[in-house]
Amino acid sequence: MPTNSSMTNHLRLFLCFVCLVAIISLGRQSLSAKEASKQSPRTVIFEVSSIFYESDQSGPHLSIAPIVVIEDGQYVKPPAKCDEKETFGKSWFRLGTVYRLLFGGGEVGHVKVTKWLVPSPDKCLENAAMVRMKSSRKLGRGEVALATNSKSLGHKKSLRRPPTMEEKAKILKLGQEIFRANDVSEEQMQSMNAYGLAVIDVDGDGINEMLGSFQIYHRKVEPDRDLFLLLEKQEGEYRPAISWYHSTSNIMETHSKTFIDNLDLDQDGIDELIIREMFVCEATRYQIYKKKERQWHVVYEGGGNQC
Ligand SMILES: [Ca+2]
Ligand SMILES: [Ca+2]
């Protein structure tokens, strides 16, 4: 039979335990509330590139520019008007702000804002800031990455890499086939320039996809030709899954597309492709391609610079 005093001790111990559990769970609740209040309801995806480039004794500074703002799962264009760009910059380009650096769908480091390229009414072309990049991956010449304030996006292993010689030969061969189908002569083909080549795996199935852009520029009689390709393996062979071809003799209608990066923006397990379009006088715009029912569709267009 337990004595009265041992029962009281048990009761005390039990009450202490209850108090402890209550204190811990209260602490957790207030912590998660604090964390939640810190989370911005808006996610911004930035392009990290050397479009604006500076270098000082401490090393190079690259630039970041907003591609898209994600609000409640919807893609929203970054501001285009000068005063709106200023408001945007005050929130997002504060000195010392740190963003996660993403490449090929995974985190590879961070960028830190070192200077806001403040828009002024007479020079309101850019919506950008200079950053210092710290990355575990050495980005190649012309390679572009993404930066974001999101904590949830981009947690895959980054599989993006340049193509091997053999893969590059395959991409070039398919590019040439499409030019030939568009009446490009072998002589004209000699001036074909390929850029933005990359190997990625958008769905993580271990089968790689390949991307590339191609240009044939003739400033005299022949039209300019631009091609953007995404190649997917079908029945063991690489075939175009996106084949965007543009040809014009009018310099005002110049239009090209370059791959920036892949990232699963809507977290459905398949990466979206983020593309930069370029027009006459270096005006730019971004596009997002999404794969739906085995087809790639443009689901967003916006951002970039006017000229
Ligand atoms: Ca794949
Ligand atoms: Ca997706």
Per-residue pLDDT in tens (0 to 9) along the chain, 307 residues: 445 555 556 656 555 455 454 544 444 444 444 444 445 689 999 999 887 777 787 778 899 999 999 999 999 999 999 899 999 999 999 999 999 999 999 999 999 999 998 887 777 778 999 999 999 887 766 778 999 999 999 999 989 999 999 999 999 999 999 999 999 999 989 999 999 999 999 999 999 999 999 999 876 777 889 999 999 999 999 999 999 999 998 888 999 999 999 999 999 999 999 999 999 888 999 999 999 999 999 999 999 988 7
Do 54 and 94 lie in one domain? The reply is yes
Among residues 191, 188, 202, the alpha carbon closest in space to that of 262 is found at 202
Q: Which residues span the domain enclosing 190? A: 165-302
Do 116 and 52 lie in one domain? The reply is yes
Whether residue 115 lies inside any domain: the answer is: yes
Those residues with Cβ within 8 angstroms of residue 130's Cβ, 6 or more apart along the chain or in another chain:
52, 54, 61, 62, 63, 113, 114, 115, 116, 117
Do 106 and 197 lie in one domain? The reply is no
Ligand 2 centroid–CA 153 distance in Å is 10
Ligand 2 centroid–CA 21 distance in Å is 40
N-terminal to C-terminal alpha carbon distance within the chain: 91
Ligand 1 centroid–CA 18 distance in Å is 52
Ligand 2 centroid–CA 269 distance in Å is 6
Ligand 1 centroid–CA 23 distance in Å is 48
Whether residue 184 lies inside any domain: the answer is: yes
Q: Which residues surround ligand 2, an ion (CB under 5 A)?
A: 264, 266, 268, 270
Do 137 and 213 lie in one domain? The reply is no
Ligand 2 centroid–CA 212 distance in Å is 21
Ligand 1 centroid–CA 236 distance in Å is 12
